[in-house]
């Protein structure tokens, strides 16, 4: 599938639930109200939509949330999609998790056909972790990561750069990743569903992070591309790489290859826009109608996002919280 800007759209991110067992400060409000389960797609409905996307040429699917590993019926989804790998257009199935449930589900994930996972982790300090996640248990996450590594899952750490919170320890995270043989990607905070001053006070540009890390490590330019928004550098004398996702300081829209499915059946062709197409009603009709709506969403995909984090701006942030589309 190609959009009107001749970009090949072959990557689908699927938010299977908006629910999460953490309340990270850059993702959602502390008193978050989640959707009633009657509004959320069933495992079968998710599989039907994913199957249609695969028929239309999607090669990679990433399962996200909320936290996907707390969704009932997750096994059904992974069973279905895992069997599609190499038996259809689908080449890879991956998952993004906060890591809290890995100690229970790492082996299950691998058996279903997932080889790579992304794990959100913003600090190695238990007290800071508790503050950032509003109640998370760092030791539980580290236990899960050790199990996942032991059974051979390839792990990438996703870290949001948070001003006045974790900036001064990002080099420690990199050292830890080198020792664990994990890759790491740093991400700028995204201005979604919070007042401008909250996001503005959290925001720290990644060009400053990169400059900081260049003083601590020998970083080498890299031409590695993964089909995602990360721009990578290699850490000299290691096999590890560092990625930088910069939606605010240097957008990556010209090579965007993805769309996002929410747990209610909405397709957002751009993370940085509020426009969507609802696929749920088409599920009760026929596959032809579903394909028609999917292709419409690709056709309407904008050239670039509209993220803005100017404290004085009159523009409002996006209406969704991050857990709706899984980043």
Ordered per-residue pLDDT tens for the chain, 327 residues: 999 999 999 999 999 999 999 999 988 888 888 999 899 999 999 999 999 999 999 999 999 999 999 999 999 999 999 999 989 999 999 999 999 999 999 999 999 999 999 999 999 999 999 999 999 999 999 999 999 999 999 999 999 999 999 999 999 999 999 999 999 999 998 776 655 556 678 889 999 999 999 999 999 999 887 667 789 999 999 999 999 998 777 666 778 899 999 999 999 998 877 789 999 989 988 889 999 999 999 999 988 766 655 545 444 556 666 666 665
Q: Which of 228, 197, 199, 321 is nearest to 13 (CA)?
A: 228
- How are the residues of the chain apportioned to helix, strand and coil, as percentages rounded to the nearest 5? 35, 20, 45
End-to-end CA distance of the chain: 22
Based on its alpha-carbon atoms, the radius of gyration of the chain, rounded to whole angstroms, reads 19
Q: Can you tell me the distance from the alpha carbon of 206 to that of 263, in angstroms, rounded to the nearest whole number?
A: 30
* Spatial contact of 269 and 303, defined as CB atoms under 8 Å apart: no
CATH of domain 11-325: 3.20.20.70
**pTM, 2 dp:** 0.92
């Amino acid at each position: 599938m190609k959009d009107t800007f001749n970009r090949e759209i072959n990557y689908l991110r699927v938010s299977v639930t908006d629910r999460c067992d953490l309340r990270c400060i850059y993702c959602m409000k502390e008193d978050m109200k989640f959707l009633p389960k009657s509004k959320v797609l069933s495992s079968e409905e998710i599989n039907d939509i994913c199957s249609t996307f695969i028929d239309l040429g999607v090669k990679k699917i990433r399962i996200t949330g909320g936290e996907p590993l707390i969704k009932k019926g997750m096994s059904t989804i992974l069973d279905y999609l895992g069997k599609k790998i190499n038996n259809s257009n689908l080449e890879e199935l991956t998952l993004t998790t906060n890591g809290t449930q890995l100690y229970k589900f790492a082996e299950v994930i691998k058996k279903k056909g997932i080889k790579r996972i992304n794990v959100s982790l913003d600090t190695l300090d238990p007290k800071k972790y508790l503050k950032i996640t509003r109640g998370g248990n760092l030791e539980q996450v580290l236990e899960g990561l050790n199990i996942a590594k032991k059974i051979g899952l390839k792990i990438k750490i996703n870290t949001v750069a948070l001003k006045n919170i974790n900036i001064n320890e990002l080099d420690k995270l990199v050292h830890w990743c080198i020792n664990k043989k994990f890759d790491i990607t740093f991400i700028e905070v995204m201005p979604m569903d919070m007042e401008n001053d909250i996001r503005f006070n959290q925001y720290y540009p990644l060009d400053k992070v990169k400059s900081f890390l260049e003083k601590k490590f020998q970083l080498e330019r890299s031409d590695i591309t993964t089909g995602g928004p990360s721009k990578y550098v290699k850490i000299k004398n290691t096999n590890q790489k560092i990625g930088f996702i910069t939606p605010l300081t240097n957008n990556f829209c010209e090579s965007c290859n993805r769309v996002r499915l929410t747990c209610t059946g909405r397709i957002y062709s751009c993370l940085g826009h509020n426009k969507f197409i609802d696929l749920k009603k088409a599920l009760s009709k026929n596959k032809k109608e579903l394909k028609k709506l999917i292709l419409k969403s690709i056709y309407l995909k904008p050239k670039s996002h509209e993220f803005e984090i100017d404290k004085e701006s009159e523009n409002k942030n996006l209406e969704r919280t991050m857990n709706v589309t899984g980043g």
